[in-house]
Amino acid sequence: MAGIVIYLLNIVPYGFGIGAMLVLIGILMYINTTSAQAFIADQTSDRNRSTVLGFYFFGNMEGTGVLTPILGYLIDHLGFHTSFTISSAAIIATIIVCSAILWLSRR
């Protein structure tokens, strides 16, 4: 859902539309953290749970610090529309790959 909302940043009018999209991005990107933490705690052993949750939180927080300069570079060289399209496609591709991994791990 976040990938679609990021793509919508290309379409909505400046002002209220951008503000509404940013609120949606904030909600959608962090609404799943509670369920993700519960899933991780359920799927890992007691011995490895803290380590796995540490990697989860590191990726969740530090990933933003790594990806922000990359997105800035893309915006400088390709423009907002193309950069947001690439970002939304990358998020959707990541969702598909991770969903496939989770689905196959249940078998």
Please report, for residues 15, 49, 82, 89, 101, the alpha-carbon distance to residue 31 in angstroms, rounded to integers and kept in the order given: 24, 21, 27, 20, 21
Per-residue pLDDT at 2: 62
Q: Sign of dihedral through CA atoms 68, 69, 71, 75?
A: positive
* Rounded Cα–Cα distance for residues 68 and 16 (Å): 23
Residue 96 has pLDDT above 90, yes or no: yes
Work out the percent of the chain whose per-residue pLDDT is above 90: 18
pLDDT reported for residue 29: 74
Q: Which residues are CB-neighbours of 28 under 8 A, at least 6 positions away?
A: 1, 2, 5
Per the prediction, the chain carries an average pLDDT of: 84
Q: Average pLDDT in the 3-31 region? A: 78
